[in-house]
Amino acid sequence: MAFLSPYYLIGLAALAVPILIHLLTRDRVRKVAFSTLRFFTQVSKKVLRRKKFREMLLLAMRAAACGLLALAFARPLLRAGGADDGRPQLATARVLLVDTSASMARAGVAVAARQAAEADVASLSAGADAAALITFADAPRVEVPLGQDFSDIRKKVGELAPGHGGTDIVEALRKADLALRGVSARHKEIVLISDLQRVGWRSFKGDWKLAADTRLTVRAVAPTSSAADLAIVEADYPASTALDGLPRTISVRIANFSTTERRDVAVTLTIGGRQIDLQKVHIRAGESVPVRFRHVFTTPGNNPGTVMIGLADAVAEDNVYYFNARVIPRIQVTVIGGRPAGLALVAAAEGSARVEVYDAAFFIEKALAPTADSPFAVKRAAAATVTPADLDGAKVAVLADVKEVPAGVVKALRDLLARGGGILFLPGPEVQADVFNRVFGRLAPCKLKGILRPPVKAGAAATGSALAQINFEHPVFEVFQHPHFGDLSIPRFRLYWEVTDSQLASVPARFDDGRPAVLEREVGGGVSMMLASPADLRWNNFPQRAVFLPYLHQTVRYLAVRSEKRTGYTVGDTLPVPEGAKVTDPRGEVHAAGALVAALPGFYVVGMKDSAETFQYAVNRDLAEADPSVLAADELVGAVQEPEGAIAEVLQAAGASDRDREKDDHGFWWYLVLAVTVLTVSELYVANKTLRH
């Protein structure tokens, strides 16, 4: 309840007048005992009780009349919907939305943003307006909630400084809009102060607008001068690799956002604190160029490195990229074969010749570990005798022509996938489709249907199907884009499995008849893959071809590196920290275990309790922050604000509703006057019925 004339509430003190009169004029009764009246004692008590009740009633009626009269003069306004409903109590409710992303660190931008925010605060009227302060980068943060005390906002505005995060204008506007919903004010507005980077608008899908009674004002700020305008906008590196002596590629793309060509731009690769390579590039105005380095990683574990534009002692924050390539000393592989380990001699007639056929696991073992210095450590077991212990420490399991395994081994395979490892299925003649589907249905990328023999093509130089429709962008097949790695269309497959239930799997390679040859599906935290034909000479000649070894090595590496933890993050991401570990951030500050939000670019070192081994996270700024292209303020406002006609209709309807409610409320005081009249008449009636003595 509100009052148009609250000062008349002082009249409520009149409630005390009837009480004082009663106390000052009440009868002074003196008790006198008359023996002749003792028979009327009970009658007198009843009369006195009735008289006392009527006097109390009169006292209450007189006090209520005085109180209601004071309330009538105060002109009460009733609000049925609560304090925020009905007539607005605020003239203006404003949310200041200030960008503190990394791009705001450019020359003069942060100062201009602070000045704009201070001016908006100064334009508010104390007591009549309310304001809130929200800062945002990759996520919005309420610095000061909506209120009428502006001192905290002024203090926070004076302390504003750009951070290292990305930009998300859409989420910030949603947060500001939510802060104003339900607020009672004549004018509600959001003031956005930002450099309006277009990249901060990338999450907008066109399916959301501000509340119809909220207006958006944009104060765009721009740098006072252009910097070097060179930046790393893309990067790629081997997050995890094997210790195999092969060179790996670290690549970046450098953009020139200025209007002049840049020549002899130095780009430096540093790994483990040691400069590895330096290249110089020329970049035309408004263009970008890739820079690629090749390096053989020889240090097991962490290999922290940087790619920098310019010299190490004068590098801008968007001119350095941090990475950590984790090197696996040797990939532990468990090969499970359908038949007992060793040479399996099988007589097979091809014309008049007799051939020796090896079991499927034989070729897998020889291809992965031909010498002692192989990057793969292979443990072999037969399907009938394999135990869960054979999978301890394994990063990859290869099931070569395996129909089924014990239940405990199935659980161990499931655990292997859960910790990010991989399984490669190579079904062959020993496999029965129904048994395989029952045992491995939840682990394999698909189910088996039946064995197919492709028809012999007239005039074909070789019998059997070939691999076709290969996705050479897939990590397993990308090396075959280079001629010296071999031609995958050469192997011939005389028999292979037809698969089913492969809707959830991807197919990076097919046979030339269009049927899936290689299938892949994520299971738990790992990857399950299948080649629909085994390493068996009775089914194909794949093991005899030169491409078999690089294909198998690439597949096992791809499956193994998924077991390695992620090393690269962006500012604003949450870094996982194991229980009992501590993290040292780039400033040298130590943080306890738990979810840690990366606030700075650089290396975060995770140290395990009672262990000298460490793990490093490489954290970078959002590379898109380097792009100076901006969004037009009119385009932004038009995308999220309702048309002016719709806003006017909403405000007009709200004003009419306020006037109707005000009219009703203004008439309420007449009811109080009527109540005072009724009480006065009733008081006269009761007073006439009440004896004074």
* Nearest alpha carbon to residue 552 among 539, 543, 561: 543
Instruction: Quick: pLDDT tens for 109-157.
Output: 999 999 999 999 999 988 889 999 999 998 999 999 999 889 999 999 9
Read off φ and ψ for residue 88, nearest 5 degrees: -60, 140
Fold of 331-561: Rossmann fold (3.40.50)
Q: How confident is the model at residue 256 (pLDDT cuts 50, 70, 90)?
A: very high
Q: Which pLDDT value is given to residue 344? A: 46
* pLDDT above 80 (res 169): yes
Nearest by Cα to 368 from 394, 406, 338:
394
Residue type at 119 in one-letter notation: A
State the pLDDT at residue 643.
77
- Write out pLDDT tens, residues 597-655: 899 999 999 987 766 778 899 999 998 888 888 899 999 998 998 876 555 555 555 55
Q: Which two tokens stand for residue 310?
A: 């310019």
pLDDT reported for residue 81: 43
Share of the chain above pLDDT 90, in %: 45
User: What's domain 90-222+630-642's superfamily in CATH?
Assistant: von Willebrand factor, type A domain (3.40.50.410)
Residue 160 has pLDDT above 80, yes or no: yes
pLDDT over 50 at 85, yes or no: no
Per-residue model confidence (pLDDT) at position 668: 64
Mean pLDDT of 167-178: 93
What's the pLDDT at 77? 63
* Mean pLDDT, residues 229-255 taken together: 88
485/295 Cα distance (integer angstroms): 19
- Evaluate whether 61 touches 679 at the Cβ level (below 8 Å): yes
Residues ≥6 apart with Cβ < 8 Å to 2: 76, 77, 79, 87
Residue limits of CATH 3.40.50.880 in the chain:
331-561
What per-residue confidence (pLDDT) applies to 658? 52
Mean pLDDT of 555-574: 84
Residues of CATH 3.40.50.410 domain(s) within the chain?
A: 90-222+630-642
CATH class of 230-328: mainly beta
Q: Is the pLDDT of residue 525 over 50?
A: yes
Q: Which amino acid is present at 189? A: E
Please state the pTM of the whole predicted model: 0.63
β-partners of residue 426 are 400
Cβ proximity of 562 and 283 under 8 Å: no
Q: What is the mean pLDDT of residues 282-290?
A: 93
Average pLDDT over residues 193-217: 89
User: Rounded CA gap, 575 and 591, in Å?
Assistant: 11
Does residue 129 contact residue 120 with C-beta atoms inside 8 Å?
A: no
Q: So what's the pLDDT on residue 516?
A: 95
Mean pLDDT of 402-418: 93
Question: Is pLDDT above 70 for 665?
Answer: no
- pLDDT interval class at 246 (50, 70, 90): confident
Determine the number of helices (DSSP H) and then strands (DSSP E) in the chain: 12, 35
pLDDT of residue 348: 45
Whether residue 226 is predicted with pLDDT greater than 80 in this model: the reply is no
How many residues does the structure list for the chain? 693
| Pick from 58, 71, 13: nearest CA to 670 | 71
Whole-angstrom distance, CA of residue 566 vs CA of residue 581: 17
**Distance of alpha carbon 299 from the chain centroid:** 34
Query: What separation in angstroms does the CA of 402 have from each of 83, 389, 427, 486, 559?
Result: 73, 18, 6, 29, 19
- Range list for CATH 2.60.40.10 in the chain: 230-328
More confident residue, 55 or 410: 410
- 421 vs 72, which has greater pLDDT? 421
Q: Determine the pLDDT at residue 577.
A: 82
C-alpha gyration radius of the chain:
41
Whether 253 shows a pLDDT value over 70: the answer reads yes
Say which residue the tokens 């499956």 belong to: 559
